[in-house]
Structure formats: structure tokens, C-alpha cells
Chains A and B, each alone.
Chain A
Amino acid sequence: AQSVTQLGSHVSVSEGALVLLRCNYSSSVPPYLFWYVQYPNQGLQLLLKYTTGATLVKGINGFEAEFKKSETSFHLTKPSAHMSDAAEYFCAVSEESNYQLIWGAGTKLIIKP
């Protein structure tokens, strides 16, 4: 069965520092990959997605992620963290066979002033 692993339930970075949130998946076929963000007291919203084509995907708010098939990874990065990036980030994977999203456990991003 498909699974998604997000390394680190909490990640703390200083304002202006690089943000790196890790996501690994298990899949025998090329998946569709997503990153969602959840700000406090809100629902989730899509940051970016990979379906086909270019493996480096750019999303909203300066975030990007790279699909690496050989490493079964889809890590999320942002060059310079802002206080407004403090939120919980979820990685998700789906397969074309059933269109269901499999979710990671989420990573809370903490930004230190």
C-alpha cells in the first residue's frame, strides 16, 4: 500500500533561513505529488503539485519542490523563511488507479525571529 513519510513533526528555522521540509513516498508507479499548507484555524490549501513534466515545481509564496524518482522524494524548499510561513505542511500522494490522496502526518514549521 502507498505510504507517505514526512521527516520531523516540527521543524524550526530562523527568519531568513532556508526552509527544507522532507517528504518520501512509497510507490511502484509514478505518482501525483502534492504539498498543502494549513494556517492556524484554517483548512488546507494547495501549495504546489507534480503530475507530469518538469520535476522542479514552483508553487505559491516562493515555495518549490523537486520530484526525485530515484529517491522517491518530493522535498519542499523555500530560500528565505518569513514569519508568515509558520504553519503546518502536508505532503500527499495519489495514484491514477484510484485517485485517492494518501497523506503524510504533517510537519509544523516554526519560524524564529
Chain B
Amino acid sequence: KAGVTQTPRYLIKTRGQQVTLSCSPISGHRSVSWYQQTPGQGLQFLFEYFSETQRNKGNFPGRFSGRQFSNSRSEMNVSTLELGDSALYLCASKPSVLNTGELFFGEGSRLTVL
């Protein structure tokens, strides 16, 4: 079974630009969560999607948005990039929002904002 796939793995942007990151969950998993990981703040929950609907949201500004498609693939977008958005963005999937079990993580997309 293929794991969680995130693209791109690395990217460099400049302040003010926007970025879109993609996540393909494990086949059959319908819940996709996004996290931001930085050395100073650790793992910060961004949002969770299930059946194309945002089910939970973390405490991030509106510049951070996401969506989920009917095949469960998800994208997140960050507009008007700031230096502080430099981070590793992790996607994780699980079968359902009602599942308290294991989260399966991708390898992440490392964003550098210059």
C-alpha cells in the first residue's frame, strides 16, 4: 500500500508570493490533516478535512487555507508569504475523523521563504 505522498518536497519562495502544497493520502483514508513544524513552535495543527469538508481548524490566520477533493487528495495554500512561514508542512491521513488511531504522515514539504 502506498504511503502518504506530499509534493513538492522542497520549495523556495519570496515574501508576498503564494504557495500550494499537495497531499495524496493512503488509499481508503478519507481524513487528511495538515501540520506546520518549526524549530521554535514544534508541531502546530493547521486543519483537518474529511469528505471535502473542513472538520477542524487550528489557530492560524486566514492566509492559510486548504481543500479536499472527492478522491480525498488535499491541497493547502498559503497566500502573501511571510518569512515566518518557513517551515516543514506535514500532511497526515487516517481512515476517518472518528478514528482515534494512528496518523500516517508524509515526508513533508519544506518551504523556505526569502
Contact = CB atoms under 8 A, between A and B. Distances in A.
Interface of A: 32, 34, 36, 41-46, 49, 51, 90, 94, 96, 98-101, 103-106
Contact of A105 (B42, B45, B56, B105): B42
Contact of A106 (B42, B99, B107): B42
Contacts of A103: 42-43, 45
Given A43-B90, A43-B107, A44-B90, A100 B42 contact: no
A103 B37 CA distance: 11
A44 B105 contact: yes
Contacts of A43: 4, 90, 92, 105-108
A46 B105 CA distance: 9
Contacts, number: 45
A98 B98 CA distance: 8
B111 interface: no
B103 interface: yes
Contacts of A94: 100
Contacts of A105: 42
Nearest to A34: B102
A94 to B, nearest CB: 5
A32 B45 CA distance: 18
A51 B100 contact: yes
B101 interface: yes
